[in-house]
Every structure is written in C-alpha cells, then in structure tokens.
C-alpha cells in the first residue's frame, strides 16, 4: 500500500478535504482518528468545520504510515504516537533540534556571535556562513514553536 503522497503546500490551515488528499485517507477516517488519537485536535470554526495546521498533517501522515504501511493496530499506533511525542518533548527539553531531515551543525558560540553581529569570520569556509544562517533561523523557529 506504499503510495507516494503529494508535498504539503506552504499554507497555515488546511480543510479536511485537503488533508484527506494530502494524506491519502477519506474525511470520515480523519474524523474517526480524532476520536482515537488525542494528540490530533484540529481547530473547529463555524459549522464545526475542521482546519488542520501543518504539524497535524504531518501527524496524520505518521498515523497513516503506522496503520497502513507498518501494520499497527489502532491501539498500537496510539501507543507508538505517544512514545514518539514523548521523545520529541525530551529532545526539546534537552535543547535538540526536532526537525526531521535537518542536520544539526556544531558551531562555537563565538562564531555564532560574530555572525550575528554581521561580521564575517575568516575562519568560516565558503558556504559555512549559509549553514550558520540556517542554524540561526532554525533556533528562531524553535523559539517561536515553543511559545505557540
């Protein structure tokens, strides 16, 4: 049942129909999963319409993978999701970057301070300044998510 899912557009909110298309499941399945997975809580507006955020779409894809591709039961998938979310909380508590597919660069604070002051360091190789900027932006995003 391995099916390539479309990329998730850069939008703030998605309707249940859009999420169904993005995740390869029908809307009634999404409504059922809301009852089974307490972590899944889309915002509800007028007429009880559901609006999902990017992180919820990713969560639904993870649930779908556990159930459809890895063969977990609902109960097993629920436990696995709780375990995964606890691991992410632990990483956050330890100050680790939680974004999948992003390599964490080890950079001395001195280099980061120099870069933030707008000074280029002779010690940085070409291209390293780019990754240093990416790292700084990831830390800013992490701070925003911590208060979100």
Tally of CB atoms within 10 A around 77: 22
- Predicted pLDDT of residue 99: 53
The answer for residues whose C-beta is within 8 angstroms of residue 95's C-beta and 6 or more apart is none
pTM of the model: 0.61
- Predicted pLDDT of residue 3: 66
What letter does residue 124 receive in the DSSP assignment?
S
Residues 19 and 5 sit within 8 Å (Cβ to Cβ): no
pLDDT band at 4 (very low <50, low <70, confident <90, very high): confident
Closest by Cα among 31, 28, 68 to 41: 31
Domains and CATH numbers, the chain: 1-94 (1.10.1660.10), 97-148 (no CATH)
Residue predicted with more confidence, 96 or 79: 79
Q: What are the helix (H) ranges across the chain?
A: 16-23, 27-36, 54-64, 74-93, 109-116, 128-146
Helix %, strand %, coil % for the chain, to 5? 55, 5, 35
Give the helix/strand (H/E) hosting 52. Answer: strand 49-52
Say what percent of the chain tops pLDDT 70. Answer: 73
- Predicted pLDDT of residue 127: 61
């Amino acid at each position: 049942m391995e099916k390539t899912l479309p990329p998730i557009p850069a939008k703030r909110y998605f309707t249940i129909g859009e999420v169904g298309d993005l995740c390869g499941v029908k809307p009634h399945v999404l409504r059922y999963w809301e009852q089974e997975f307490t972590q899944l809580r889309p915002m509800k507006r007028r007429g009880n319409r559901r609006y999902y955020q990017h992180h919820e779409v990713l969560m639904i894809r993870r649930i779908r993978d556990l159930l459809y591709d890895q063969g977990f039961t609902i109960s097993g998938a629920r436990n696995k999701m709780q375990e995964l979310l606890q691991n992410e909380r632990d990483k956050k508590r330890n100050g680790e970057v939680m974004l999948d597919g992003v390599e964490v660069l080890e950079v001395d604070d001195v280099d980061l301070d120099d870069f933030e002051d707008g000074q280029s360091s002779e010690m940085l190789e070409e291209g390293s300044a780019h990754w240093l900027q990416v790292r700084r932006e990831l830390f800013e995003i992490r701070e925003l998510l911590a208060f979100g």
